[in-house]
Amino acid sequence: MAHRLFGTDGIRGTANRDPMTAEVALQVGLAVGAHFRRGRHRNRVLIGKDTRLSGYMLESALTAGFTSMGMDVILVGPMPTPAVANLTRSMRCDVGVMLSASHNPFEDNGIKLFGPDGFKLSDSVEKAIEARLANGAEGQLAQPWELGKVKWLTDVQGRYTEFVKHSFPKGVVLQGLRIIVDCANGACYKVAPEVLYELGADVISIGIEPDGFNINRRCGSTSPEALCRSVTEYRADLGIALDGDGDRVVIADETGALVDGDQVMALIAKSWNQCGRLLGGGLVATVMSNMGLERYLGGLGLTLERTSVGDRYVVETMRERGYNVGGEQSGHIILSDYTTTGDGLIAALQVLAVLVESQRRASEVCQMFEPLPQLLRNIRINGERPLEADQVKETIAANQRRLGNSGRLLIRKSGTEPLIRVMAECDDETLLHSVVDDICGAIQAVAH
């Protein structure tokens, strides 16, 4: 097991295919248990999951690995990723695990790991765990009398519901607002409607009938068409679409128009800056965020600090440099006043707070800036390395010169799927399409 397991967001792959097998999950449980087993106390690990069928298999295998290392296991069942992160910290667990492939289809699954502080693991810790995987767990297994125990935590939904509600301004209610919430048939299918209902909204829920196979299928933040239709059909004031594990969100205003993560970050940054809550003098986003966001923040006297793709890198920069707002265009919004990772529901509540307090429509509040034309294309690869080819490098360099200072070009290999992502943005939409077509053609010529 010398190959690299960890990508930009934990370990991910097709269920029952390497590395997302019960055997590998067992070995991961052993290695992670060995790494985090410390002190004289009973070491504990908390395991949550989304609604994928393969979650049962991986949950059982990981549980066997952790208990074999003498760690007690707390199972919480289907719960959002941010809930697992928060509970890991609040329950003083030594490590937290979330079984989810986020926005991917049910065939995929993943293992996300959180340290005792509730934050995702650093690159150095992941490398240390991979080294343990390569060396095996022989000689480290617990003695028979030291084996771990397993316990179900039954009140976890209520705990997370109250935690999320505490992020909403005191004394403010959602009465009079009709809200559509799309839970992607995923981990938020119970908690998201409950939170909105308890805050006083008229809630219409979709994507709340998980069957193990339908997570993210034609629903949720990556397929928001159903949300937009429902908003206009039911004449709702706002639509909220979460992804399979609840760590990202997209919004639909009352007209059914979509509001992406860049707009949500701009809204929160402006609101928090006005009331003196914004730290760091701006926000942190990835290289994928639109240049329009950067220009908008500049007009407010705020900065945009960019990181590599992956909410983990956003969080690391926020912690290092004192920001409390960050995220990704895709809808991962990290508000470190409340959470250690992206939380789609808490981000949506910040948008709703502005709506209620301003008494304006979502279409008047949520479209903060005019984004630059941006084009993203994905090219599937099968083990090739087209970005190393000379003709591809030359094509990329030539098109960077064509864009000059009027736009940006970003080409990268996906950390979660076998894809090359080609993204460009500039004020000239004709030039934009020409640049992306040229680069994609060069990559495809090498990759196929």
Cβ pair 328, 24 in contact under 8 A? no
CA distance 98 to 186: 13
What would the 3-class secondary structure string for the chain be? CCCCCEECCEEEEECCCCCCCHHHHHHHHHHHHHHHCCCCCCCEEEEEECCCCCHHHHHHHHHHHHHHCCCEEEEEEECCHHHHHHHHHHCCCCEEEEECCCCCCCCEEEEEEECCCCCECCHHHHHHHHHHHHHCCCCCCCCHHHCCCEEECCCHHHHHHHHHHCCCCCCCCCCCCEEEEECCCCCCCCHHHHHHHHCCCEEEEECCCCCCCCCCCCCCCCCCHHHHHHHHHCCCCEEEEECCCCCCEEEECCCCCEECHHHHHHHHHHHHHHCCCCCCCEEEEECCCCHHHHHHHHHCCCEEEEECCCHHHHHHHHHHHCCCEEECCCCCEEECCCCCCCCHHHHHHHHHHHHHHHCCCHHHHCCCCCCCCEEEEEEECCCCCHHHCHHHHHHHHHHHHHHHHHEEEEEEECCCCCEEEEEEEECCHHHHHHHHHHHHHHHHHHHC
How far apart, in Å, do the first and last CA atoms of the chain sit? 29
Supply the residues annotated as catalytic.
102
* Nearest to 108, CA basis, from 384, 418, 330: 418
